[in-house]
């Protein structure tokens, strides 16, 4: 499977990372190197093998469904690049 | 290097309790060393005020006779750990200026035990790298140099700052994290001991996530005893991390008897890679002979899926990273790109992430996005997870056959030159993890122990791999190996 510029651009878009058009050929070439490396997994016989979901066999603990924390608006907003009137502020989302 | 700042945790603990030294003395000695070690670029945010305050409190506890083993011990903390009010940016531009409002569970446990924070340590960006060259802070530098050379060497990665700081005597020990070898490889490159515990032994809460099914925190120390003491303070169940194990934490230091008579050590034949350097092969044979000499039985074992571990890792880790790093969007914390008139929210995301992430992080996020995308999920991601099951089964079969621990080299080479891999393709760098990554995929504990010097005078490490939750047994084997190897070399000070 070889990745062309168009696919590289699509992946960058899906990952929400801006890549200038001029950088796409190099990016596609890097993808192809890495994918060429992971392609060898195709040679492994995985017939009937379950995909791993958790590395340690354990029952995940469940917590009580109760409120344990809250009222931390100032702390939550303290690192925001733009916070106004108790909210995170972002550019206009809907025209 | 100061005599105080190069002490082991165990020696400092005993001296503190005996009143021969104070936490303030140890802390000042380390702070002086840090000040003089700018050339190593290991400490990226010094926290002298916090250190002095914690040291004063530790001295008070020591006077009151309420002193756990880590009380008064000055530590360096990898930048991946969130530390309240202190910059914690995972060596990334996207978290520039981020000061967490909370403390990671592991560091909170260390401070509760009385340990002292000297500062935050350099690392590869988001722990993605094997040479500390992807850091926004610039390269950390190995205190070791080859004989007769002044070329700057990598301390390894991703916990490169931690390794350099411990090896250079800037702190008594440091925290690290290990997703594919990020504790064990830098430990091997700098002649120190690095332990990755069983997945779930330490809480991941408050540690910036890279690949959540692989990440695990661990101690980086001068010797095996210190690793046991420090792990004791870091480990334990945490309700805030549902994958942290709710099981008792044994007394790791008490397990260090050095008696491994009658135990069985496996030598996996698949780790004898084509083109393995003769020095590494000899180190490995010597290590096996040392364990045999200590009374263990050394047997050949097979781990047949070993060769597929790296490719499986480079599907699973980027896939998890692409998901974990989706949170860096310029909205809630960290960097936001300056926008052009008319830019909407998508442009904000795209520009923020292009500016904030370095090249290797961008690469891995995009590879992860690709292998998870519609049409490729089964071919790559699900297949890699099946291969992971097979890799874990290999280890389970070896342990079921009576093997107590597995001995391998820690790295394919000694530390390489900074910049040496700049023109290589990314896969060449990934090969550094060839001996360590299987351990993360199988969730096992692994430890790197310094075992010798190469012909250029650079340290080499051996790795021991243990059974799940048997850090105690693993540490005891490492202790036996350490005693037999008798590694005492230290880097000559040039910085």
Please provide the DSSP assignment of B428-442 as one string: HHHGGGTTTHHHHHT
Distance from CA of A54 to the nearest CA of B (A): 7
Residue A9, H or E segment = helix A5-14
Q: Tell me the CATH architecture of domain B1-495.
A: Alpha-Beta Complex (3.90)
CA B448 from chain centre, in angstroms, equals: 10
Question: Which residue among B357, B382, B425 places its CB closest to the CB of A33?
Answer: B425
pLDDT in tens, B251-264: 999 999 999 999 99
Contacts of A83 in chain B (CB under 8 A): none
Distance from CA of B59 to the nearest CA of A (A): 32
- Percent of chain B at pLDDT > 70 equals 100
Give the whole-angstrom CA distance, residue B24 versus residue B29: 8
- Tally the residues of chain B: 495
Residue numbers of B between 265 and 324 with CB closer than 8 Å to A: 305, 308, 310-312, 314-315, 322
Give the whole-angstrom CA distance, residue B81 versus residue B208: 6
Contact B346 A40 (CB under 8 A): no
pLDDT in tens, A3-19: 899 999 999 999 999 99
| Tens digit of pLDDT at every position of chain A (95 positions) | 578 999 999 999 999 999 999 999 999 999 999 999 999 999 999 999 999 988 988 788 888 899 988 999 999 999 999 999 999 999 988 76
- Alpha carbon separation from B108 to A33, B121, B196, B235, B238 (Å, rounded): 42, 17, 19, 11, 11
Give the whole-angstrom CA distance, residue B304 versus residue B390: 9
Asked if B182 is an active-site residue, the reply is: yes
- Residue indicated by tokens 């380390």: B30
Contacts of B366 in chain A (CB under 8 A): 11-12, 15, 17, 27, 31
Say if A2 is an interface residue toward chain B (CB within 8 Å).
Answer: no
Residue numbers of B between 243 and 272 with CB closer than 8 Å to A: 243, 245-246
pLDDT in tens, B20-68: 999 999 999 999 999 999 999 999 999 999 999 999 999 999 999 989 9
Question: Which residue among B246, B310, B330 places its CB closest to the CB of A61?
Answer: B246
The residue from B182, B203, B322, B448 that is catalytic is: B182
Distance from CA of A39 to the nearest CA of B (A): 8
Distance from CA of B322 to the nearest CA of A (A): 8
Asked if B373 is an active-site residue, the reply is: no
Strand locations in B439-481 (E): 446-453, 459-466
**Which positions ≥6 away from B251 have C-beta within 8 Å?**
B232, B472
- Count chain A–chain B contacts defined by CB atoms under 8 A: 166
Say if A94 is an interface residue toward chain B (CB within 8 Å).
Answer: no
The residue from B158, B244, B322, B448 that is catalytic is: B158
CB B300 within 8 A of CB B272: no
Q: Is the peptide bond before B158 cis (omega within 30 degrees of 0)?
A: yes
Nearest CA in chain B to A92: B344
CB A9 within 8 A of CB A24: yes
- Please tell me the predicted confidence (pLDDT) of residue B454: 96
Query: Considering only CA atoms, which of B166, B251, B227, B298 is closest in space to residue B478?
Result: B227
Contact B384 A38 (CB under 8 A): yes
Question: Which residue among A39, A50, A72 places its CB closest to the CB of B389?
Answer: A50
- Please tell me the predicted confidence (pLDDT) of residue B430: 86
Query: Considering only CA atoms, which of B346, B271, B449 is closest in space to residue A93?
Result: B346
Instruction: Tell me what ipTM this predicted complex has.
Output: 0.95
- Please tell me the predicted confidence (pLDDT) of residue A1: 56
What are phi and psi for residue B298, nearest 5 degrees? -105, 125
Span B92-103, average pLDDT: 97
Confidence band (pLDDT; 50, 70, 90) for B316?
very high
CB B252 within 8 A of CB B230: no
Contact B357 A17 (CB under 8 A): yes
Contacts of B354 in chain A (CB under 8 A): 17-19
Query: Considering only CA atoms, which of B179, B256, B285, B316 is closest in space to residue B472?
Result: B256
Q: Which tokens belong to B111?
A: 């401070």
Span B108-112, average pLDDT: 98
pLDDT in tens, B366-419: 999 999 998 899 999 999 999 999 999 999 999 999 999 999 999 999 999 999
- Please tell me the predicted confidence (pLDDT) of residue B427: 84
Say if B200 is an interface residue toward chain A (CB within 8 Å).
Answer: yes
β-partners of residue A78 are: none
């Amino acid at each position: 499977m070889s990745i062309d510029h168009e696919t590289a651009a699509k992946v960058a878009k899906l990952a929400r990372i801006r890549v200038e058009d001029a950088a796409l050929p190099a990016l596609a070439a890097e993808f192809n190197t890495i994918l060429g490396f992971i392609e060898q997994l195709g040679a492994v016989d995985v017939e009937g093998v379950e995909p791993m979901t958790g590395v340690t066999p354990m029952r995940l603990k469940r917590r009580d469904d109760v409120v344990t924390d809250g009222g931390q608006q100032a702390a939550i907003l303290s690192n925001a690049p733009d916070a106004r009137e108790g909210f995170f502020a972002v550019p206009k989302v809907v025209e | 290097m100061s005599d105080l700042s190069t002490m082991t945790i165990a020696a400092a603990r005993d001296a503190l309790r005996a009143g021969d030294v104070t936490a303030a003395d140890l802390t000042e000695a380390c702070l002086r060393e840090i000040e003089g070690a700018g050339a190593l670029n290991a400490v990226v945010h010094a926290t002298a005020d916090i250190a002095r305050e914690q040291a004063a409190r530790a001295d008070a506890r020591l006077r009151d006779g309420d002193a756990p083993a880590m009380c008064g011990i000055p530590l360096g903390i990898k930048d991946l750990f969130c530390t309240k009010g202190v910059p914690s940016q995972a060596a990334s531009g996207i978290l520039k200026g981020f000061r967490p409002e909370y403390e990671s569970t592991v560091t909170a446990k260390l401070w509760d035990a009385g340990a002292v924070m000297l500062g935050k340590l350099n690392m590869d960006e988001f722990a993605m790298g094997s040479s500390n060259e992807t850091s926004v802070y610039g390269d950390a530098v190995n205190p070791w140099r080859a004989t007769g050379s002044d070329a700057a060497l990598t301390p390894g990665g991703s916990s490169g700052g931690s390794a350099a700081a411990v090896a250079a005597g800037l702190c008594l020990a440091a925290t690290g994290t290990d997703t594919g070898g990020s504790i064990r490889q830098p430990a091997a490159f700098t002649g120190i001991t690095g332990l990755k515990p069983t997945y779930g032994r330490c809480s991941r809460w408050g540690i910036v996530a890279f690949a959540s099914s692989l990440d695990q925190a661990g101690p980086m120390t001068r010797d095996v005893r210190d690793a046991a003491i420090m792990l004791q303070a870091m480990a334990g169940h945490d309700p805030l991390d549902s994958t942290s194990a709710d099981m008792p934490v044994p007394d790791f230091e008490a397990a260090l008897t050095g008696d491994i008579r009658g135990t069985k050590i496996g030598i996996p034949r698949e780790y004898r890679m084509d083109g393995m350097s003769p020095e590494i092969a000899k180190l490995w044979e010597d290590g096996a002979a040392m364990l045999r000499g200590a009374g263990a039985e050394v047997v050949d074992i097979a781990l047949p899926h070993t060769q597929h571990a790296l490719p499986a890792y480079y599907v699973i880790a980027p896939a998890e990273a692409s998901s974990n790093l989706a949170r860096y969007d310029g909205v809630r914390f960290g960097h936001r790109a300056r926008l052009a008139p008319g830019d909407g929210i998508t442009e904000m995301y795209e520009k923020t992430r292009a500016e904030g992430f370095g090249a290797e992080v961008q690469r891995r996020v995009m590879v992860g996005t690709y292998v998870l995308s519609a049409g490729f999920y089964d071919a790559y991601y699900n297949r890699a997870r099946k291969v992971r099951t097979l890799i874990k089964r290999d280890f389970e079969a070896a342990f079921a056959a009576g093997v107590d621990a597995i001995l391998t080299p820690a790295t394919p080479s000694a530390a390489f030159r900074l910049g040496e891999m700049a023109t290589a393709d990314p896969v060449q760098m990934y090969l550094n993890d060839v001996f360590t990554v299987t351990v993360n995929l199988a969730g096992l504990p692994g430890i790197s122990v310094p075992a010798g010097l190469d012909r250029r005078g650079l340290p080499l490490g051996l790795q021991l791999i243990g059974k799940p939750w048997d850090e105690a047994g693993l540490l005891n084997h490492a202790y036996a190996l350490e005693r037999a190897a008798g590694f005492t070399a230290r880097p000559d000070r040039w910085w």
